Amino acid sequence: MWKMYSSFDNPLFPYFNGVFKSPLIDSENARDVRFVPRNVITFFQFPVFSALVPNTLHSEIPLRDPRLLSGAVIAIGWIIAAAIRVLLRKSQRETWSLDLFMAAAYLLMYVVGLSFFGIYRYTIVLELLGAAMLFVALIRLRQRLSHADGLAVCTMTFLAIMVLTSWPDWGRVPLDGGPYFRNNLPGLPPSSLIVATTMEPIGYLVPQWPGNPAFYSALTNISGPTYNLRLQDEIVAGVLAHKGPIYILRAMGKPDDSKLVTSRLRISINDGTCRALEQPVPVPLEICEANRI
């Protein structure tokens, strides 16, 4: 957060800029509210639908994932169990305070997450916490059962999760069991700068690039040639000050996106030098030499 604040004057950049007032983007709390629940019923409806029915309640692409439901059921169950023990004046288990903390954190993050954004792919913390809670619950259940019964319950639970879960890729490279960072990217001259001019998700390519070239993303949902121009000015200044070779990374077949950016950066693209990137990439991409105008 300190790095974000020192670089962008907003520790949560680009979110909540109506509070932190970073001069690089508009001073408003910009957020995507398409999936924010319109009524209380949706808060209870989503985990059930998400577990059983492919749906777009909180996603651009149909998905089905039982982890939110299992996490919610376990969290509520732990809270109810602790309350019953208090009412009956029974001793709590040794880990009851940790159970309550995890349960309360899960439910609070669920309510806050849906209230602010309501976007499923932002719930990675809930997915991880819910999976950990499910693991703990299964371990405890296994201790109460015979070896055969415990093994059967765990096996059926994992099989049910595997069968019910469907993973949308949101335009990313699909998970196929291979290494995630495995792109064979072209080497560039020392002190090179790459300027991305595509809205496609290509950030994962940056740490893979041989030689660690400098990198600007000049066309994003945060800033572009026609919006949040102060941030664009910072990018333009960085490109103009760069002394080494400059390259454009763009989506093949979408030259208009590049033209929007390159005129402002005072560079032109040498189309004869363009090289297609090898798979896997989310969309066909190419990298081209750029000349200063």
| Rounded-to-integer distance, Cα 61 and Cα 3, Å | 33
Give Cα separations from 224 to 75, 202, 259, 291 (angstroms).
43, 16, 12, 21
The pLDDT of residue 290: 94
Q: What number of other Cβ atoms are within 10 A of residue 18's Cβ?
A: 11
Residue with tokens 């879960």: 165
The pLDDT of residue 257: 66
End-to-end CA distance of the chain: 38
Beta bridge partners of 269: 290
The pLDDT of residue 183: 75
Mean pLDDT of 237-263: 85
User: pLDDT tens digit string along 184-241?
Assistant: 889 999 999 999 998 888 888 888 899 999 999 998 888 888 888 888 899 999 999 9
Q: What is the pTM of this model?
A: 0.73
Question: Which pLDDT band holds residue 11 (cuts at 50, 70, 90)?
Answer: very high
| Rounded-to-integer distance, Cα 241 and Cα 267, Å | 13
Q: In sequence order, which residues have a C-beta less than 8 Å from that of residue 232 and are 6 or more positions away?
A: 218, 223, 224, 225, 264
Residue 205: HSE in the Cβ half-sphere, 13 Å Cα cutoff? 30
User: pLDDT tens digit string along 111-146?
Assistant: 998 888 888 888 888 989 999 999 999 999 998 899
**Tokens at residue 31, please?**
């957020």
Residue 192: HSE in the Cβ half-sphere, 13 Å Cα cutoff? 21
Domain layout of the chain by residue ranges: 40-164, 180-292
Per mean pLDDT, which range of 13-17, 88-92, 149-153, 211-215 is the poorest? 88-92
User: pLDDT tens digit string along 52-102?
Assistant: 888 888 888 888 989 889 999 999 999 999 899 888 888 877 888 889 999
Of 165-169, 180-184, 248-252, 258-262, highest mean pLDDT:
248-252
The pLDDT of residue 205: 87
Residue with tokens 């690039």: 209
